[in-house]
Amino acid sequence: MTTKKMAIIATKGTLDMAYPPFILASTAAALGYEVQVFFTFYGLQLLRKDLSDVKISPLANPAMPMPVPMPVMVQMLPGMETMATMMMKDKLKKKGVASLEELRSLCQEADVKFIACQMTVDLFDFQKSDFIDGIEYGGAAMFLGFAGDTDICLFV
């Protein structure tokens, strides 16, 4: 049986959008897939050692379930993003959903390859020391070299 392959492009750096790439990558690896995730633009935030800046905003996010209806004018007040993030993290924990840090390290343990987009690293003047160990840096051609030969390829 040939090994199945999956490639994911992670472009978002918010709490809600951080979950799909890590959940799918870790699960695919558990199923025996060879997996690579290419982190570009805001997705790069997901490779930082410190994930405390990965937040969720109720603003312009009308589908987010809220405990009480909240007018947009209130959602834009200072501190609302931090509060929404705290509430979401609390909910995730209560429901037994893994933290991003946990899913990310499960991916790495399972040999999921993380690639940071070199162009975006340079664009935003990120320091390699801000990122976790064990990742690679590369560009579109490097990613496509793997993605072109995969069974599943997703853009998140």
Partner 1 sequence: MNFDKEFDASGLSCPLPILKTKKALADMTSGQVLKMIATDCGSVKDMQAFADQTGNPLLSSTEEGGKYIFFMKKK
Contact present, 116 and 135 (Cβ < 8 Å): yes
Single out the residue of 17, 64, 88, 97 in contact with partner 1 (rule: CB under 8 A). Answer: 97
Ramachandran sector of residue 60 (left: φ over 0; alpha: ψ -120 to 50; beta: rest): left
Least CB distance to partner 1 at residue 96 (A):
4
Contact present, 130 and 48 (Cβ < 8 Å): yes
Neighbours of 110 (CB within 10 A): 17
Least CB distance to partner 1 at residue 95 (A):
6
Only segment of 46-54, 95-103, 134-142, 146-154 that touches partner 1 (CB under 8 A): 95-103
Least CB distance to partner 1 at residue 33 (A):
9
Only segment of 21-29, 36-44, 69-77, 80-88 that touches partner 1 (CB under 8 A): 21-29
Least CB distance to partner 1 at residue 29 (A):
8
DSSP string, 84-98: HHHHHHHHHHHTTPP
Q: Which is nearer to partner 1, 80 or 98 (CB)?
A: 98
- Angle separating helix axes 15-30 and 80-94, nearest 10 degrees: 30
Angstrom distance (rounded) from CA 144 to CA 72 = 41
Chain positions 27 to 56 lying near partner 1, rule: CB under 8 A, are 27, 30-32
Give yes or no for residue 106 binding partner 1 (CB under 8 A): yes
Binding residues for partner 1, rule: CB under 8 A, are: 23, 26-27, 30-32, 95-98, 106, 110
